[in-house]
Amino acid sequence: MYNNELKFSLWCDFVERSFLEGEFGELIANNVINAATSNPSIFQAAFLGSPAYAEDKAKLQGKSAKEMYEALAISDIQLAAKKLLNSYKKGDDGFISIEVDPFLCDDTEATVEEGKRLFKAIGYPNVMIKVPATEAGFSAMEALLSEGINVNATLVFSDTQTKECLKAFGSANKTLVEKGVKKLPQAVISIFVSRFDRKLDAELAKIDFVTSRVGIMNAMRCYELIQNAKLPNVRTLFASTGVKGDKLSPDYYIKELFLENSINTAPLATIKAFIASSKACKPIELRSDWIENFFHSVEANGIDMNVVCDELMDEGLRAFKEAFVEILNELK
For residue range 185-197, what is the model confidence (pLDDT) as tens digits? 999 999 999 999 9
Class at the top of the CATH hierarchy for domain 8-331? alpha beta
Q: Give mean pLDDT, residues 290-311.
A: 96
Catalytic residue among 130, 167, 199, 321: 130
Distance (Å, rounded) from C-alpha 75 to C-alpha 80? 9
Q: Give mean pLDDT, residues 100-113.
A: 98
pTM summary value: 0.97
User: In percent, how much of the chain has pLDDT > 70?
Assistant: 99
pLDDT bracket for residue 258 (50, 70, 90): very high
User: In percent, how much of the chain has pLDDT > 90?
Assistant: 93
Q: Is the pLDDT of residue 36 over 70?
A: yes
Of the candidate ranges 131-135, 232-236, 244-248, the one whose mean pLDDT is the lowest: 244-248
Question: Which contiguous run of DSSP H or E holds residue 262?
Answer: strand 262-266
pLDDT bracket for residue 152 (50, 70, 90): very high
pLDDT score, position 37: 97
Q: Give mean pLDDT, residues 102-119.
A: 98
Query: What average pLDDT does the structure give for the chain?
Result: 96
Distances (CA, A) of 271 to 94, 232, 267: 17, 27, 6
Which residue, 17, 23, 1, 94, is CA-closest to 272? 23
pLDDT bracket for residue 46 (50, 70, 90): very high
Distance (Å, rounded) from C-alpha 324 to C-alpha 70? 11
* Residue 130: active-site member: yes
Q: Give mean pLDDT, residues 223-234.
A: 98
pLDDT bracket for residue 84 (50, 70, 90): very high
Q: pLDDT, tens digit, for every residue of 262-290?
A: 999 999 999 999 999 876 678 888 889 99
pLDDT score, position 3: 87
Which DSSP symbol is given to 150? Answer: E
Which residue, 289, 137, 142, 327, is CA-closest to 319? 327
Q: Is the pLDDT of residue 327 over 80?
A: yes
Which residue, 247, 249, 242, 239, is CA-closest to 219? 239
